[in-house]
A and B are shown apart, each in its own frame.
Chain A
Amino acid sequence: MSETTPAHFFDGRTSKRHPATLTCERNGRIRIEATGLEREYPVAEVRIGPRVGSIPHSLYFPDGAKCELVDDDFLRRLSAEQGRAGAALTLHVLESRLGYALVAVVLTAIVVWGALSFGVPALAKQAAFALPESATLALGQGALKALDHTLFSPSELGKATQSRIRQHFMAITRKAGGSYPYRLEFRKGGIAEANAFALPSGIVVMTDELVRLAQNDDELIAVLAHELGHLVHRHAMRHVLQDSGVALLLAAIVGDVTSITSLAGALPAILVQLKYSRAFELEADDYALHYLRAESIPVQNFASLLARLQGDAGKDDRGYLSTHPPTRERIERIERINP
């Protein structure tokens, strides 16, 4: 065990570096000797700076002076002398062994995966239902107006058709209950093609193209129930909350990496959000199936409309990068529930 060690002494008044010799005395004092300079401090009053990586050790003295040294043994002796060897070095030990690093990698991966798969969605669900309905309604303000500007043009459906479908819609909302101001709107979809949307303000939009694609009203009822499922389960609010949760989690990991490299964090965030969207679609499907069965409407209607939608769009299933689960998977789910 070394009792003396070379060090750099700085008196805290000027930037002068004093090459010095540190001695740990037997009488519980630490002595600093340099050319034209000699100091002594009680060991108990020396503050040992936190040890990080292999940066020099810092000793801070009560009068504002400081010593820098590189001798591990001396430092260990000093902290033993102070009788609090543990705490200051525990973090450094955690940070300097490959084994601990590997444990930290595994632990972080498990916690992040668990939080993304279960924690964030569960918390968001709780919060979404704890928040007042008005909060969810506020999310959708102006959404229809914006869509009318960009996507839609006025519906070309006849009044009779519209009011017939509205009757179905009202039956579904009656079943859903609650004080939500549900409303059904018809629009010509344009590039949105055959589609239906649920806006958080309680408005469900159905495109003319979808009405024409359907072969009977039961198919439309299935779609309407699906959209209502989104509203009943407060998917819009949960989406907002989940995205914020993911952003917070990623910020904790990526930390203060410069904004340009945080670009790299955007991709995983998008993938996670798409995964959430698909989970919501399945939840809305379940709501629709539940309604159809309660009303004794053959669920096959839902499956056949989905199949026709898929054929109409003429696109391949993109599974992983899509906001919706593959249609085949959804149809199989429906058929599994009710053969």
Chain B
Amino acid sequence: MSSTMSQVRDRSLWERTLDGNGFKRQAAKPAASEKLSDRAPLSFEFTGKAGEYFKIWIVNVCLTILTLGVYSAWAKVRTTKYFYGNTWLDVSSFDYLAKPIAILRGRVIAFVILAAYALVVNLFPPGEPIFWVVFLFALPWLVVKALSFRARNTAYRNVRFDFRGGLREATLVYIGFMVFLTLITAGLAFPYFVYRQSRFAVLNSAYGQTGFGFVVKAGRFFSVYAKAAGGAILGVIGLFAVFYLAQHGMASLGIDPKSASADPRSHAIVAVMVLIITIPLYLWFFFLGVYVRTTIANLVWNHASVGKHRLRSDLRVGKMLSLYLTNAFAIMFSLGLAIPWAKVRLARYRVQTISLYPASDLDDFVASASAEVGAAGEGLSEAFDVDLGL
């Protein structure tokens, strides 16, 4: 039935360990357990392929549309399974265990709330702020549920991850820091919120019974945002400089900028100016956004640990920027058909830049019994694009 697939399939990671009917590691790649005592880093690897994922993706899209969105829950599980199953660490890959029905239930709830929101906004505009206040107070609960759902449905070597963050800390972080502290300080304390958000997400996570560690000074977050803010100010100064030059340019052509609208030459100059200013300015702010995202991701990963094992992330801003831009162009010019390719190459780069510095071999993690978590938080946080800080 799928014999062609088994020929095409990349088994390299397994073949390293497979030898006839037994499992022996080949000497050529001793990266796994023999070397663990020397504490050589174990790098994460990604084996997903654009061509293979394209077929999965297009079937998922097609079935989702034909079932009016119901299949999207199955699509989500299959897609996540594909990406997790192709993410390897020390000859084992990750597993996604969520049940499609749970996700469907979460999405139905999210859809109903979103529809209610749309109705309120369009038919009863004064109701919108009330909606946002309710949403704000539900946000901590939402984040906790979404993080729990994601963690408990992720497994590695048949041991599930866990998230034990409490509602009290979530409320402190998402209402106390994100809303009030940021408002009071006119946004200056925002990096502190990002720090606490990351701390909340990492420190309350666990692999089996082994908790994650997170030690970093909040100042590191401030310096990332300070650099980005400096960049933004430079961008605005550049904007004014261009305006100033353009006005002088018009004056030197003998056009009075105040009564210029009648002069056809000024129309052309304005059009060119708009292009000259907006495109680089947009790219510059886009770059700053990618810079913050990438640097914060590295910062969080590099100060996180699982038990005694340290993590490391080496994402590069320039590489991320070029990936994002080429992906956006490819998707636009392929009418969306390049989406799988874009997702795979982004995932490959992200996974490959993460490594684990083991303190011992990875056999001794103990699983914990964990209860099922509903997917309402997951569905809603997805629908409202809640940033979970991961």
Q: Give me the interface of A with B, judged by CB distance under 8 Å.
A: 4-6, 8, 10-17, 19, 21, 49-56, 58, 64-66, 68, 70, 72, 76, 89, 91-98, 100-101, 104-105, 107-108, 111-112, 115, 131, 134-135, 138-139, 141, 240, 244, 248-249, 252-261, 263-265, 267-268
Q: Which one of B47, B56, B327 lies within 8 Å of A95 (CB-CB)?
A: B56
Asked whether B129 is an interface residue with its Cβ less than 8 Å from the other chain, the reply is no
Task: Assess the B48–A96 pair: CB atoms within 8 A.
Answer: no
Q: Judging by beta carbons under 8 Å apart, are B156 and A15 in contact?
A: yes
Whether A108 pairs with B55 at a CB distance below 8 angstroms is no
Give min CB distance, A296 to chain B, whole Å. 40
Q: Are A264 and B331 in contact (CB under 8 A)?
A: yes
**Docked-complex contact A253 and B14, CB < 8 angstroms:** no
CB-CB under 8 A from B363, the residues of chain A are 14-17
Assuming the contacts A55-B82, A76-B1, A261-B331, asked whether A15 and B54 have C-beta atoms less than 8 A apart, the reply is no
Chain A neighbourhood of B93, CB < 8 A? 55-56, 68
Is A100's CB under 8 angstroms from B59's CB? Answer: yes
List B contacts of A255 (CB < 8 A). Answer: 61, 72, 75, 79, 339
> Interface size class for chain B?
35 or more
In the complex, residue of chain B having the shortest beta-carbon distance to the beta carbon of A92: B2
A-B contact count (CB 8 A): 203
User: Is A252 a contact partner of B122 (Cβ separation < 8 A)?
Assistant: no
The answer to whether A104 and B59 have CB atoms under 8 Å apart is yes
Is B366 part of the contact surface with A, judged by Cβ < 8 Å? yes
**Which residues from chain A contact B61 at a C-beta distance below 8 Å?**
104, 108, 252-253, 255
Known: A17-B92, A89-B2, A260-B290; 7 extra A-B contacts, CB below 8 A, are A70-B9, A92-B2, A96-B4, A249-B65, A254-B339, A264-B328, A264-B336
Contact of B364 with A by CB under 8 A: yes
**Complex interface residues of chain B between 52 and 92 (CB less than 8 A to chain A):** 52-56, 58-62, 64-66, 69, 72, 74-79, 81-82, 84-86, 91-92
B122 near A240 with CB under 8 A, answer yes
- Selected from A12, A104, A258, the residue in CB contact (under 8 A) with B58 is A104
Query: Which interface residue of B61, B84, B331 has the most chain A CB atoms within 10 A?
Result: B61
CB-based contact B331/A6 at 8 Å: no
Interchain CB contact under 8 A, B8 and A108 = no
- Residues from chain B with a CB closer than 8 A to the CB of A138 are 122-125
CB distance from A267 to the nearest CB of B (A): 6
Quick one: which of B9, B23, B54, B60 contacts A6, CB cutoff 8 A?
Answer: B23
Cβ A10 vs Cβ B157 within 8 A: yes
Interface residues of B (CB under 8 A from A): 1-6, 8-11, 14, 17-18, 20-23, 47-49, 52-56, 58-62, 64-66, 69, 72, 74-79, 81-82, 84-86, 91-93, 95, 118, 122-125, 156-159, 207-208, 286, 289-290, 324, 327-329, 331-332, 335-337, 339, 342-343, 346, 362-367, 382, 385
Q: Which residues of B contact A21 (CB under 8 A)?
A: 21-22
21 A-B contact pairs sorted by A residue (CB < 8 Å): A12-B367, A14-B367, A19-B17, A52-B78, A52-B82, A54-B8, A56-B85, A70-B14, A95-B55, A104-B61, A105-B58, A107-B66, A108-B58, A111-B65, A139-B122, A249-B65, A252-B65, A253-B61, A257-B331, A257-B339, A264-B336
Q: Which residues of chain B are near A267, meaning CB under 8 Å?
A: 332
B207 partner residues in chain A, CB cutoff 8 A: 15
Give every chain B residue within 8 A of A70 (Cβ-Cβ).
Answer: 9, 11, 14, 18
CA A13 to CA B209, docked complex, whole Å: 10
Which B residues are in CB contact (< 8 Å) with A261? 324, 327-328, 331, 339, 342
